Amino acid sequence: MPAFLRFRPSLFLLPIILMLPVRFVFAAGDAGPPLTIARAIEKASRQHPRIEAHDARVDGAKARVTQARAGFLPRAHVSEKFDRTTNPMWAFGTRLNQASITEPDFDPDRLNNPDAIQNFNTVLGVTWPVYDRGQTRHGVRQAEMGEVAAGLFLDQARRQVIADAAVAYFGVLIGQETLSVVDQSLKSARAHLKMAQDRFDGGFVVKSDLLRARVRISQLTQERFQAESGLAVARAALNAAMGEPVDREYHLATPLAAGNGIDTPLEPWVEASLAHRADYLGMKQQEAIAAEEIRKTRAAHLPSVDLFGNYEINSEDWSDTADNYTLGAMVRLDLYSGGRDAARTREARAALKDIRALLREMEDGIRVQTREAFLQAKSAWGRIGAAGAAVSEAEENLRIVSDRYRNGLLTIVDLLDAEVALDQSRKNRFQALHDYKTSLARLALVTGTIDETFMGEGPCCIH
């Protein structure tokens, strides 16, 4: 079978391909207001649903502090009760409370078989836990540490959202550059198709050269469709990262530029990670809360002291009332709780052991994540330079090969190989740029140094 027949299925696309413009107009790429990376990050940190959720958790933590502190304060209550009884003891006591006892009330028959009596009872009571075995004091400390932990987790969530928005922004940029590379390749391929057509018309090459050039355009056109769909997905991902509707359109205004390289060695980055990672610091707060829980359960074995007072009004029909008051103090010591308090202490110790094990695992993970992001950034930075040189060499190679093919010194296969090499070198350069930018975002995230000022131009400052 002749070689050119192996490409015959692609020939059905030729009428459509040859009618396509050199550069497609991709609406989502050009429409909409300009969007810088700084603006994208600002939008994400302000309106992403994850931030809203963590804000609510911080509000909940603040409310728990207020609840815990309320344990230091006295509690006041008022109650109103109505009852009607023929119970001998309660009937006589009710008359006493109403200050309505008369001499006939001491008649044994009346004492044993009293008439029904009703009573309206109003009570204003106050209780004050002067010492509750330290439960409130320890609870306040835990609630305050919980508020700090919630704030730290909010910070980490904001940093994660910022990193996600930056990575999504770079994803759109690489999608645009990929589309641009394919368009450049299509332009070059059409020029070479014309060259092959001229040489074929002049009888200098066989028809297979012409067919190979057309198939190359067919392949690039399919690549362009894929690049367009990939760019559309990247734009939707960026909108989601910013907390915007996924179909909103923006024109990205920050270019995909190399920026600065990393000169700082690895160790300061690792130290920054352990010092600034908000989620790690939040887990340290959880460790402190668990340690406080042990002290809280131990204090449960101590006595408690409460003050109380009641002011009471009793009346049968509100035509006449009687009042009284009660003041007192109570000391209570639990002698036996069925092992409950001791079991609570063992449970708290187990929880602390669990958190400390997770902290060790998290610390090792942070060290690995920092090392990985650092080395990936260094690797990508080196690839940028190498890929840039490769692009220049591939462009020069294609120029030479094109001239030699035009003069009949090389075959169409050599020309197409040179095209593919240039196409791949351009993609490699943009991919290296993208990888460096995303590695910088991840490095700033894992070290806890990323914030709203992140631009992806170079490494963040290590404090």
3-state secondary structure 137-201: HHHHHHHHHHHHHHHHHHHHHHHHHHHHHHHHHHHHHHHHHHHHHHHHHHHHHHHHHHHHHHHHH
Is pLDDT of 30 > 70? no
Q: What is the pLDDT of residue 38?
A: 93
Q: What is the pLDDT of residue 94?
A: 93
Asked whether residue 122 is assigned to any structural domain, the reply reads no
Is pLDDT of 24 > 50? no
Asked whether residue 129 is assigned to any structural domain, the reply reads no
Tens-place pLDDT, residues 44-56: 999 999 999 999 9
Instruction: Name the pTM for this structure.
Output: 0.80
Chain centre distance of CA 365: 18
DSSP type of residue 447: T
Is pLDDT of 20 > 60? no
Is pLDDT of 88 > 90? yes
How many whole angstroms separate alpha carbon 211 and alpha carbon 204?
15
Nearest partner of 370 among 286, 282, 276, 437, judged by Cα: 276
How many whole angstroms separate alpha carbon 75 and alpha carbon 313?
20
How many whole angstroms separate alpha carbon 261 and alpha carbon 238?
25
Chain centre distance of CA 157: 4
3-state secondary structure of 123: strand
3-state SS track over 58-89: HHHHHHHHHHHHHHHCCEEEEEEEEEEECCHH
Asked whether residue 24 is assigned to any structural domain, the reply reads no
- 401, 414 Cβ separation under 8 angstroms: yes
Residue 409 CB contacts under 8 Å (≥ 6 apart), including other chains: none
Tens-place pLDDT, residues 406-423: 888 888 888 888 889 998
Q: What is the pLDDT of residue 31?
A: 57
* pLDDT band at residue 459 under the 50/70/90 scheme: low
DSSP type of residue 33: -
Is pLDDT of 462 > 80? no
Q: What is the pLDDT of residue 458?
A: 62
Q: Which helix (H) or strand (E) holds 218?
A: helix 207-242
Is pLDDT of 18 > 50? no
Residue 103 CB contacts under 8 Å (≥ 6 apart), including other chains: none
Report the alpha-carbon angle 62-63-68, nearest 5. 100
Asked whether residue 167 is assigned to any structural domain, the reply reads yes
- 225, 178 Cβ separation under 8 angstroms: no
Tens-place pLDDT, residues 241-295: 999 999 999 999 998 888 888 888 999 999 999 999 999 999 999 999 999 999 9
* pLDDT band at residue 196 under the 50/70/90 scheme: confident
Report the alpha-carbon angle 24-212-194, nearest 5. 60
3-state secondary structure of 36: coil
Residue 405 CB contacts under 8 Å (≥ 6 apart), including other chains: 192, 195, 411, 412, 414, 415
Residue linked to tokens 């930018």: 437
Output the average pLDDT for the chain: 88
Asked whether residue 313 is assigned to any structural domain, the reply reads no
- Give φ, ψ of 326 to 5 degrees: -140, 130
Q: What is the pLDDT of residue 26?
A: 38
Asked whether residue 12 is assigned to any structural domain, the reply reads no
- 231, 172 Cβ separation under 8 angstroms: yes
- 265, 202 Cβ separation under 8 angstroms: no
Task: For residue 195, give the CATH number of its domain.
Answer: 1.20.1600.10
3-state secondary structure of 229: helix
Tens-place pLDDT, residues 173-183: 999 999 999 99
**177-183-185-191 Cα dihedral, nearest 10 degrees:** -150
Please provide the DSSP assignment of 263-331 as one string. -S-HHHHHHHHHHH-HHHHHHHHHHHHHHHHHHHHHHTTS-EEEEEEEEEEEESSSSSEEEEEEEEEEE
How many whole angstroms separate alpha carbon 447 and alpha carbon 462?
9
Least confident of 4-8, 278-282, 313-317: 4-8
Q: What six digits make up the tokens of 72?
A: 């230091």
**What is the pLDDT averaged over residues 431-454?**
92
Least confident of 289-298, 332-341, 358-367: 332-341
Tens-place pLDDT, residues 128-153: 999 999 999 999 999 999 999 999 99
- Give Cα separations from 371 to 13, 362, 374, 451, 455 (angstroms): 49, 14, 5, 20, 21
Per-residue buried b or exposed e for 297-313, using 16+ beta carbons within 10 Å of the residue's own CB? bbebeeebeeebbbebb
Q: What is the pLDDT of residue 381?
A: 92
**What is the pLDDT averaged over residues 100-110?**
90
Asked whether residue 344 is assigned to any structural domain, the reply reads no
Q: What is the pLDDT of residue 409?
A: 86
How many percent of the chain have pLDDT more than 70?
Answer: 92
Range of the domain at 387: 36-73+135-306+356-446
Chain centre distance of CA 266: 26
DSSP type of residue 401: H
3-state secondary structure of 118: strand
Determine how many CB atoms are found less than 10 A away from the CB of residue 64.
Answer: 18
Edge-to-edge strands, sheet with 321-332: 75-85, 117-131, 304-315, 321-332
How many whole angstroms separate alpha carbon 392 and alpha carbon 261?
21
Asked whether residue 219 is assigned to any structural domain, the reply reads yes
Q: What is the pLDDT of residue 440?
A: 93
* pLDDT band at residue 13 under the 50/70/90 scheme: very low
**What is the pLDDT averaged over residues 426-431?**
91
- Count of domains in the chain? 1
